[in-house]
Amino acid sequence: MSLTMHTDNGYTYVDEGQGSLVILLHGLMGGPENFKTVVPDLSRDYRVVVPRLPLYELQLRKATVRELCRFVHRFVAHMGFARFVLVGNSLGGQLALRYALDHPGEVAGMVLAGSSGLKENTLGTTLPRRKDYDYVREKAALTFYDPAVATKELVDEVFAIVNSNITALKLLRLAKSAVKDNLASELHRLSMPVGLIWGRDDVVTPPDVAEEFQEKLQLSKLCFFDECGHAPMMEKPHEFNEALRDYLHWFDREAEGGFRRANQASPDASPRCPDPGDGRAAAMA
């Protein structure tokens, strides 16, 4: 299904459902459409908002993680939001972390999937081979465990982006900014609960990155999906939605009972992962 987009005062966003607020943040090469299977499921019980990040509208010198964080803060203020959960994939995860570090009182919890912010395999320091469609297709396919998830439509979008000189330069600048804005020394300051959903076959932010996030965060839980790459909400949508809901329920329990370290939580606070017997095994770390 396609998402209904709203436009207001220069902001473009999805806004569905009622209840506690959950804001979804997409990654560097994506958009709100990356969450097209999440929104209809989650909006049955929550208010779900997905802003389109101005990745290619920023001035070149302002194409940074911190500038995107300022954009999200302006959007939140414009919408009158007070307290919410942030869910971010890839660069969106790093943006959620940076936002929570800058505005901790606004963030009740976070769910991160394949987040950057510690280390990742990036585009490097030069522009990609933009004219080579097959090369772009191969790179896009590396995002997923199953290359078929990188549809022709998705590859065409990426190809168009990297073949525009100015957008390609902004893409590269944003990627460099993400590497520079390393959060390793700051994560200990975050006291809100954080759920981690990771593809076991993620080659962009490999599993050891997820384990490092879990080690450095005060209160976190980690769920791995086997046969899954960098965008679990696209490649394992049913499993992702189940784990996301379980994390949100965990956040509610933490808010009611007071924060405690994850290893002190009761067994029923763990997110559900696919049954190891169904061929889509995942494991709690």
- Res. 279: pLDDT tops 60: no
Query: What percent of the chain clears pLDDT 90, i.e. is strictly above it?
Result: 62
Which of 130-139, 218-227, 232-241 has the least mean pLDDT? 130-139
Q: Is the pLDDT higher at 102 or at 159?
A: 102
Q: What is the mean pLDDT of the segment spanning 263-274? A: 48
Contact (CB, 8 A) for 13 and 208: no
Q: Count Cβ neighbours within 10 Å for each residue of 47-59 and write b for 16 or more, e otherwise.
A: bbbbbbbbbeebe
Rounded mean pLDDT of the chain?
86
Backbone angles phi, psi at 28, to 5 degrees: -65, -40
The burial class, CB within 10 Å (0-12 / 13-18 / 19+), for 228 is buried
Q: Are strands 84-89 and 21-25 parallel, antiparallel or unpaired?
A: parallel
251/246 Cα distance (integer angstroms): 9
Cα separation values, 245 from 63, 70, 103, 128, 205, Å: 33, 28, 24, 37, 23
Going by the DSSP 8-state scheme, the letter that residue 265 receives in this structure is S
Which domains are delineated in the chain? 6-120+178-284 (3.40.50.1820)
Q: List pLDDT tens digits, range 47-94.
A: 999 999 999 888 888 989 999 999 999 999 999 999 999 999 999 999
Contact (CB, 8 A) for 261 and 218: yes
What predicted TM-score, i.e. pTM, was given to this entire model?
0.86
260/141 Cα distance (integer angstroms): 40
- Cα 135 to chain centroid distance, Å, stands at 25
Contact (CB, 8 A) for 111 and 244: yes
Q: List pLDDT tens digits, range 142-178.
A: 888 888 887 888 888 777 777 766 777 888 888 889 9
Q: What is the mean pLDDT of the segment spanning 251-255? A: 90
- Res. 266: pLDDT tops 60: no
Q: Which helix H or strand E contains 85, and what residues bound it?
A: strand 84-89
